[in-house]
């Protein structure tokens, strides 16, 4: 899901749409950012950032206290829609899941199978938008690592396929930090190894 907590707040309160929404403690209190709308992210506001820092970066930000029960309920609705695809679903968090659609998108070769998964992905995105009024970004690939990179590639409301035959050319121009677990120190080590 795209900026899930903030998107739910924007959906439920039309006055928040198109505005920099920061879900978390107000900047005058000790706390962190639980989620930031894409409008707030333009100011550099990120998940787990101190609320005081978020308030300095985005002085026009609208801080909203988290409504975790509401987000969990919304997640249940979305995961029900996801389950109805016929895929094997592996939830990762309240707003993210991996789907194994190999049984419903079989084809002669792996890249053709990936392309067969696209109509299912489009339908899933459309159902979530029409039924829940929220956007989702989907990545399609041959494994979880590549699918996650694909889903992070074009947010919000994106759909990206990394074909098996083009995975190297897709990954080559990307920063090594797109790989799970690669932080600043590992990035420096890997860049020096080139």
Domain boundary among 66, 84, 102: 66
Nearest to 62 by CA among 18, 17, 22, 12: 22
Q: What is the arithmetic mean of pLDDT over 93-108?
A: 88
For 39-87, the pLDDT digits (tens) are: 999 999 999 999 999 999 999 999 999 999 999 999 999 999 999 999 9
Please check whether residues 57 and 134 belong to one and the same domain. Answer: no
Q: What is the arithmetic mean of pLDDT over 85-93?
A: 94
For 156-193, the pLDDT digits (tens) are: 999 999 999 999 999 999 999 998 889 999 999 988 88
> Residue 125: which domain range?
69-166
CA 6 – CA 12 distance, rounded (Å)? 10
Identify the CATH number of the domain in which residue 75 sits: 3.30.70.270
By DSSP bridging, strand 62-64 and strand 21-24 are parallel
* Catalytic, out of 9, 39, 96, 187: 96
Identify the CATH number of the domain in which residue 11 sits: 3.40.1170.60
Please check whether residues 22 and 62 belong to one and the same domain. Answer: yes
Residue 46 lies in a domain: yes
For 108-143, the pLDDT digits (tens) are: 788 888 888 999 999 999 999 999 999 999 999 999
Q: Identify whether 156 is preceded by a cis peptide bond (ω within 30 of 0).
A: yes
Structural domain count, the chain: 2
CA 149 – CA 170 distance, rounded (Å)? 10
**Could you confirm whether 39 is annotated as catalytic?**
no
pTM for the whole structure: 0.91
Residue 44 lies in a domain: yes
């Amino acid at each position: 899901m795209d900026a899930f907590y903030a998107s739910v707040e924007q959906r439920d309160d039309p006055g928040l749409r198109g505005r920099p929404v920061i879900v978390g403690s107000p900047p005058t209190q000790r706390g962190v950012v639980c989620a930031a709308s894409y409008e707030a992210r333009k100011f550099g506001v990120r998940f787990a950032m101190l609320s005081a820092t978020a308030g300095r970066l985005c002085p026009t930000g609208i801080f909203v206290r988290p409504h975790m029960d509401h987000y969990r309920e919304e997640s249940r609705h979305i995961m029900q829609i996801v389950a109805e695809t016929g895929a094997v679903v592996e939830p990762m968090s309240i707003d993210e899941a991996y789907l194994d659609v190999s049984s419903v998108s079989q084809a002669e070769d792996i890249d053709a199978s990936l392309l067969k998964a696209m109509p299912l992905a489009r339908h899933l995105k459309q159902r979530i938008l029409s039924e829940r009024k929220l956007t989702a970004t989907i990545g399609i690939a041959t494994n979880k690592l590549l699918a996650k990179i694909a889903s992070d590639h074009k947010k919000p409301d994106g759909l990206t396929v990394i074909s098996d035959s083009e995975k190297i050319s897709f990954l080559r121009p990307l920063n090594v930090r797109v790989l799970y677990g690669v932080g600043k120190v590992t990035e420096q080590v890997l860049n020096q190894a080139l």
